[in-house]
Amino acid sequence: MPILVTGGAGYIGSHTCVELLNAGYEIIVVDNLMNSKQESLSRISEIAGKSFPFYQVDLLNEQELEKVFIENEIDAVIHFAGLKAVGESVRLPLRYYHNNITGTINLLNIMKKYDVNRMVFSSSATVYGMPERVPISEDFPLSALNPYGRTKLMIEEILTDLYKSDHKWSIALLRYFNPIGAHKSGMIGEDPNGIPNNLMPYITQVAVGKLPELSVFGNDYPTADGTGIRDYIHVVDLAKGHLKALEKVSTSNGIESYNLGTGKGYSVLEMVEAFEVATGVSVPYKIVTPRPGDAAICFADASKARKEMEWAAEKSLREMCEDSWRWQSKNPNGYDENLIQTGTGNPHSKSGDFFHVKID
């Protein structure tokens, strides 16, 4: 029976779809394309050499969502769909609560109605708030620093209450650390709207000449070089974690949380250096004031996932950098075919003089 993937056109969802298809699963994708492009779905199909049904449906539209369950027998749901920009969530909290929480409740109501009880949920290391120590294990206290984080925490709580109410449910809460990288083919990858919020897409856009320089948010943290430390994980390793979680929810009932990270932390400046060494492309940067709400150090204790799901991240930091760069350099404008690059931009220059033309 097929796996329903909500948010399957997005960054992590698209990589997970490829791994599911390669492993022989049938999939159905639901996405409203609010933060993704249909082109990613064609590319998933091309990489895996298989086609699959896609429903352009908003989780907020219960009737349309129910049709997906009427037309298909679904075995389990991997639930990626949600809004994820921290800053935007502070400006537009109601949009985040409505989309992420109401969307999830709609999905759960329909799953209940059609007796689909297995879910793998995209949570986040953000549920640990400002961690007091590292490495972070699943039993650390949970808190939220912003509305986005609160939606993840609330959904974890909703799913926990649901399991308590009915032990038929089987749920994995996957707490991702910092996904970067892209599929080896360079055909799918992260395609942020506008100026990236996250470090790696910012670095690759500086490297390709779309942005002039990286702003490093603070160099006075209690770390060796003063810049923030994170646990970067290759998105393909992360995608494979979802297949392990699917096996877990298919063979046992309950609700469990798992950290998906490498267990290793790298500073911002170490990331810049690793990228330059892996790609040979320089990344100019300047130090600016810290970003409010950023933790100094955050990395996972990922031993629970290793013990209980037999999953561990395998790909090196070098591969993460090489694969991020392959995606960015082959697709300087992401999935947007209507944007072409013109001008005399030199991706190795520090001036960032590419500009873009929209073709009608």
Please, which residues have CB within 8 angstroms of residue 315's CB and are 6 or more apart in sequence?
181, 234, 236, 237
Contact assessment for residue 165 and residue 289, using Cβ atoms and an 8 Å cutoff: no
Binding characters for ligand UFG, 173-212, by CB under 6 A (x = yes): ---xxx------------------xxx--x----------
Q: Applying CB under 6 A, what is the total number of residues that bind ligand UFG?
A: 21
Are the CB atoms for 159 and 295 separated by under 8 Å? no
CB 10 within 8 A of CB 84: no
Interface with ligand UFG, residue 325, by CB under 6 A: no
SS3 209: coil
Tell me how far apart the alpha carbons of residues 268 and 327 are, in angstroms, rounded to a whole number. 21
Instruction: Considering the complex, state which of residue 80 and residue 169 has its C-beta at the smaller distance from ligand NAD.
Output: 80
Q: Which of 62, 64, 294, 319 binds ligand UFG (CB under 6 A)?
A: 294
CA angle 125, 106, 10 (to 5 degrees): 50
Query: Taking CB positions, which residue lies at the least distance from ligand NAD?
Result: 10
Active-site annotation, residues? 148
Q: Does the footprint of ligand UFG cover residue 341 (CB under 6 A)?
A: no
CB of 34 to ligand NAD, least distance (A): 4
Residues 179 and 16: beta-carbon distance below 8 Å: no
69, 80, 169, 325: which one contacts ligand NAD (CB under 6 A)? 80
Of 164, 168, 291, 307, the one binding ligand UFG by CB under 6 A:
291
233 is an interface residue for ligand UFG by CB under 6 A = no
Note the maximum CA span of the chain.
Answer: 62
Strand 266-267, strand 229-230: pairing: antiparallel
From candidates 25, 69, 74, 103, binder to ligand NAD by CB under 6 A: 103
CA-CA distances (angstroms) from residue 214 to 210, 323, 352? 11, 19, 11
User: 7: which DSSP letter?
Assistant: T
Q: Which is nearer to ligand NAD, 297 or 300 (CB)?
A: 300
Binding of residue 96 to ligand NAD (CB under 6 A): no
Residue 29: phi and psi, rounded to 5, are -110, 135
d(CA 112, CA 64): 16
Taking the least distance from each CB to ligand UFG, the nearer of 55 and 299 is: 299
Tokens of residue 72, six digits? 């298909």
* For ligand NAD, the closer CB: 82 or 129: 82
For ligand UFG, which is the closer residue by CB, 11 or 163? 11
Give the contacts of 316 (CB within 8 A, at least 6 positions apart): none
Position of tokens 């990344």? 283
Minimum Å gap between C-beta 355 and ligand NAD is: 25
In whole angstroms, what is the distance from residue 214 CA to residue 346 CA? 17
99 scored as a contact of ligand NAD (CB under 6 A): yes
Query: Which range binds ligand NAD by CB under 6 A, 27-35, 134-142, 155-163, 214-222?
Result: 27-35
- Give the pair of three-digit tokens for residue 120: 């793998």
Coil, strand or helix at 287: strand
Q: Near ligand NAD by CB under 6 A, which window of 7-15, 164-172, 247-255, 337-345?
A: 7-15
- Residue 318 contacts which entry, ligand NAD, ligand UFG, none (Cβ below 5-8 A, type-dependent): none
Q: Which position among 4, 25, 36, 328 is part of the footprint of ligand NAD (CB under 6 A)? A: 36
Site residues (CB under 6 A) for ligand NAD?
Answer: 7, 9-13, 31-36, 58-60, 80-84, 99, 103, 122, 124, 176, 179
Site residues (CB under 6 A) for ligand UFG?
Answer: 84, 86, 124-126, 176-178, 197-199, 202, 214-217, 228, 230, 268, 291, 294
